[in-house]
Amino acid sequence: MKSYILKITAIITLIAVASGCEKGDLLSNPNVASENSTIPASLLLNHLTYSFYRGGGFVDKVVNSVEEDPFGPVMRWNQFIVSNNSYYRGQNAYSFSNTATAYDVLKYVTKMEEQSSKQFNSPNTIYAALGKFFRAYSFVWLTQRVGDIPMSEAGNPTILQPKFDTQHDVYQNTLQLLDDANTAMTALVNSSTSSSLIEGDIYGLTYLQWQKVINTYKLRVLVSLSKRADDNADLNIKAQFAAIVNNPTKYPVMTGNADNLSFKYNATVNSYIYNPSEAYNEFANIGKTYLNLTTANQDPRTFVTSTPSIAQLNAGKTVSDFSAYVGADNGLAQSTLLANSGNRMYSFVNYKRYYASFVGPDPAVLVGYPELCFSIAEGINRGWATGSAADWYSKGINASLTGYGLTEGQSYSIGDHTGATLGTVTIRIQNFLNNANVAYKGDNADGLRQILQQKYIAFFQNSGWEAFYNWRRTGIPEFSNSGPGINPSGKIPVRWQYPIDEQNNNAANYAAAISSQYGGTDDVNKLMWLLK
């Protein structure tokens, strides 16, 4: 991976620089690709797919990005973990300011499309089809953070100050891109073998599996538009949702965890966790937003993700007692969290599972089958499509449990924050499924709340910002949303400010966008079109 990235960086830099020297000024370098050279599209896809995992670019390079991997900062803002030490694990405060971008994805898509057309002498390649998906992803990634963005003119080298498209139009065009990607993939799937892989794809998916990713992702986008489904007839949100759910032949979607879009780790280059040590584990606790749900439901995933509170064990509780697992509150001041954690009041991350090695227990899921199940259940619950929301809800829960390797009657070892064994528990999946909080309550508001709660639990340490975005859209589950640990303002912001580069280099269009959306102030607490 590292060697690929270094090659790509050199190649793209040289592609982007036009020579200003007179002929004969310098000797040509035989190791450098010229503007007219054909670069293997697979090399560009290799970089693209890694950027996709990193949320738009490299965390430690010059490209703006946000670290979206497990136990990173995003997972604090999803309220899965809570930092008790700002030096080692950062602050919990939602101090949203100027956003990063996903322009790195858009830049490399453009080059990949150009080079694949040259390489294969055809615009209808697998790289072109995937390019439509990555374009859609990059635009959605940014618009859901800020609102209106440049889209129709973005990436055009002749337009240095692209106009802003309304968020409505961004989503309309994105949905069309995804539909076009599905159509292109259908032709490619029909002309290839079912086991065909794509050179340069770090995820190792077949053509058909990529088509499933595209349509599964489109369902994510459609569900994210739930607040605008009734007042924007031209978007056909409900009809597009029903078309995918009711016609899996035309729109194949994931059918199990094996279809997940997942980033695989190794111990040498792309490690699961930067510092798998007991000391590092001590600087963060499991969040109460997550644990309050799992413990109330007698959810066996509690035992897999968390350690019991030592203070609760000292008070006489056992490792199998769900009330012994206590989450920390993001709203508390970090000094309070540190003191409480030092007194062993809270649960820590399960060291045995997550911190015992650089490889980690699982690949990182970016788009997954459990989310698909809950998205379909939500759409049916809302009346967007026919079918059984209860069945899809059940499939989502069971797919998440399967992802953890849990089975009925299984004996599971419980450790402390260092990995030292404290005891064992017996996994009782049926007790969990029969819990009154979990058994589906029907296609009504209570049932919708259950779907969203279970979707949140299934997002633990995966899928980037999706847990936060679902809370922002629905208010479910109930996030900690007050106190000194959240923000100086005492509440969670609902958006980011526009990128600094956009403000500096596209000032007039930026000012017009702020004026039309937010009354002239780039305010993190103002609602974008998506959320109104």
Q: Answer yes or no: is 49 within a domain.
A: yes
CATH number, domain with residue 51: 1.25.40.390
pLDDT in tens, 347-399: 999 999 998 888 889 899 999 999 999 999 999 999 999 999 999 999 999 99
User: In which residue are the tokens 């049932």 written?
Assistant: 447
Distance, in Å, from the CA atom of 167 to the CA atom of 143, rounded to the nearest integer, reads: 7
Note whether 405 and 470 are same-domain residues.
yes
* Number of domains into which the chain is organized: 2
pLDDT in tens, 233-277: 999 999 999 999 999 999 999 999 999 999 999 888 888 876 667
pLDDT-derived band at 34, boundaries 50, 70, 90 = low
Of 61, 55, 69, 60, nearest to 100 (Cα)? 55
Compute the mean pLDDT over every residue in the chain, rounded to the nearest whole number. 90
Note whether 187 and 47 are same-domain residues.
yes
Distance, in Å, from the CA atom of 448 to the CA atom of 438, rounded to the nearest integer, reads: 12
- State what percent of residues in the chain have pLDDT above 70: 90
pLDDT score of 35: 62
Note whether 246 and 179 are same-domain residues.
yes
Note whether 469 and 413 are same-domain residues.
yes
Among 442, 474, 506, the domain-final residue is: 474
Of 297, 312, 343, 348, nearest to 327 (Cα)? 348
Q: Answer yes or no: is 221 within a domain.
A: yes
Q: Answer yes or no: is 261 within a domain.
A: no
Note whether 388 and 510 are same-domain residues.
no
pLDDT-derived band at 515, boundaries 50, 70, 90 = very high
Note whether 293 and 384 are same-domain residues.
yes
Note whether 170 and 314 are same-domain residues.
no
Note whether 524 and 469 are same-domain residues.
no
pLDDT score of 30: 60
Tell me phi and psi for residue 371, to 5 degrees: -60, -45
User: In which residue are the tokens 């000797």 written?
Assistant: 27
pLDDT score of 135: 95
Structural Rg of the chain based on CA atoms: 24
Residue ranges making up the domain that contains 350: 278-474
pLDDT score of 66: 60
- State what percent of residues in the chain have pLDDT above 90: 76
Note whether 231 and 330 are same-domain residues.
no
> What mean pLDDT comes out for the span 130-156?
95
Note whether 111 and 155 are same-domain residues.
yes
Tell me the angle at which helices 167-190 and 207-224 cross, rounded to the nearest 10 degrees.
Answer: 160
Q: Answer yes or no: is 73 within a domain.
A: no
Note whether 52 and 177 are same-domain residues.
yes
Res 62 pLDDT > 80: no
Res 418 pLDDT > 60: yes
Res 112 pLDDT > 70: yes
pLDDT score of 168: 98
pLDDT score of 283: 94
User: In which residue are the tokens 């040509």 written?
Assistant: 28
What does the DSSP 8-state code read for residue 259?
A: G
- Contact assessment for residue 474 and residue 452, using Cβ atoms and an 8 Å cutoff: yes
Q: Characterize the bridge pairing of strands 411-415 and 421-426.
A: antiparallel
pLDDT score of 23: 40
Note whether 371 and 510 are same-domain residues.
no
